């Protein structure tokens, strides 16, 4: 394949990969932070101990983390069809990507939130802060650098997952790599895709590190 043949394919593939990654990152960020907060707040020593909720969310998160993504992808086809009306294409990749990434990110958020000094929370309680104020102004704000760093890791995992989703019908660079690099032995194409992915991951990591560092005042 010549470069002129590869270029439009690569451009389209990159756009699709970015679309899958960005949308699933957005939903994962919202869902992961929410579940992470629920896990910490409803814990036995949390602000609002609710054992049943904590156990249920913990179970859902653990199950989500236990199932390999490639299996989740196929198992979720009915769910995906119900949500977006189709089981192939970039849009169809977003629900399974999000559902796979939320438990992963929720645990990272949970870990960051647990690192907030208990003394800081006690001090805020002593000042008369409500639970909602503590979650927003203390827990999330203090853990923000860690939450951002966790999102960086998650985005990188999502780029990897999106290639898998692409290979079974989601489009993007994973699909290109399978169809051209693997099935047609286009080594050049494969090489370019690998380089593109490495650059993409490196950029995300740099951006994430930079943000986390700027946010941290420790």
Partner 1 sequence: MIQIEKLRKAYKARGRTVTAVDGVDLTVDAGTVHGVLGRSGAGKSTLLRCVNLLERPDSGRVVVDGRDLLALPGGELRRARQRIGMIHQHFGLLSSRTVAGNVAFPLEVMGVPRAERAARVAELLDLVGLTEHARAHPARISGGQKQRVGIARALAGRPNVLLSDEATSALDPETTASILELLRDLNRRLGLTILLITHEMDVVRRICDAASVMRDGRFTESGPVRDLLLRPGSELARGLFPLPPPDPRPGTTLVDVTFEGDGADRPFVSALARTHDIDVNIVGGSVEEAGGTRIGRLRIELPGDPSANAAPLEFLRSSGLVVEVRS
Q: CA 181: distance to chain centroid?
A: 27
Contacts of residue 23, Cβ cutoff 8 Å, sequence gap at least 6: 94, 98
Cα 155 to the chain's mean position, in Å? 5
212 binds partner 1 (CB under 8 A): no
Nearer to partner 1 by Cβ, of 15 and 125: the residue is 125
- What values do phi and psi take at 89, rounded to 5? 100, 170
Residue 51 binds partner 1, judged by CB under 8 A: no
Using the rule CB under 8 A, give the single segment among 48-56, 96-104, 119-127, 192-200 that binds partner 1. Answer: 119-127
Nearer to partner 1, 48 or 191 (CB): 48
Distance of closest approach, residue 137 Cβ to partner 1, in angstroms: 7
71 binds partner 1 (CB under 8 A): no
Shortest spacing between CB 209 and partner 1, in angstroms? 18
18-44 in b/e form (b: 16+ CB < 10 A) is bbbbebbbebbbebbbebbbbbbbbbe
Nearest of 170, 195, 23, 92 to residue 179 by alpha carbon? 170
Residues 124 to 183 in contact with partner 1, rule: CB under 8 A: 124-130, 133, 137-138, 141-142, 144
Q: Is 30 in the site for partner 1 (CB under 8 A)?
A: no
* Residue carrying structure tokens 């890791």: 153
The residues that touch partner 1, with contacts defined as CB under 8 A, are 117, 119-120, 122-130, 133, 137-138, 141-142, 144, 215, 217-218
């Amino acid at each position: 394949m010549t470069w002129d043949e590869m270029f439009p394919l690569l451009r389209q593939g990159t756009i699709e990969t970015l679309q899958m990654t960005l949308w699933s990152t957005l939903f994962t960020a919202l869902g992961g932070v929410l579940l992470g907060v629920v896990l910490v707040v409803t814990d036995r020593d949390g602000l609002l101990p609710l054992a049943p909720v904590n156990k249920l969310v913990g179970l859902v998160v653990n199950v989500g983390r236990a199932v390999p993504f490639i299996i989740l992808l196929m198992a979720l086809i009915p769910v995906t069809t119900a949500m977006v009306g189709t089981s192939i294409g970039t849009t169809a990749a977003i629900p399974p990507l999000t559902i796979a990434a939320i438990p992963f990110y929720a645990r990272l958020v949970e870990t960051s939130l647990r690192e907030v000094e208990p003394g800081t929370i006690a001090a805020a309680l002593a000042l008369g802060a409500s639970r909602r104020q503590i979650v927003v102004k203390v827990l999330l704000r203090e853990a923000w650098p860690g939450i951002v760093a966790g999102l960086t890791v998650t985005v990188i995992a999502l780029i990897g997952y999106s290639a898998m989703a692409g290979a079974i019908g989601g489009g993007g660079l994973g699909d290109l790599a399978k169809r051209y690099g693997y099935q047609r032995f286009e080594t050049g194409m494969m090489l370019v895709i690998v380089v593109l992915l490495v650059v993409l991951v490196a950029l995300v990591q740099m951006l994430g590190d930079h943000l986390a560092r700027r946010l941290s005042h420790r």
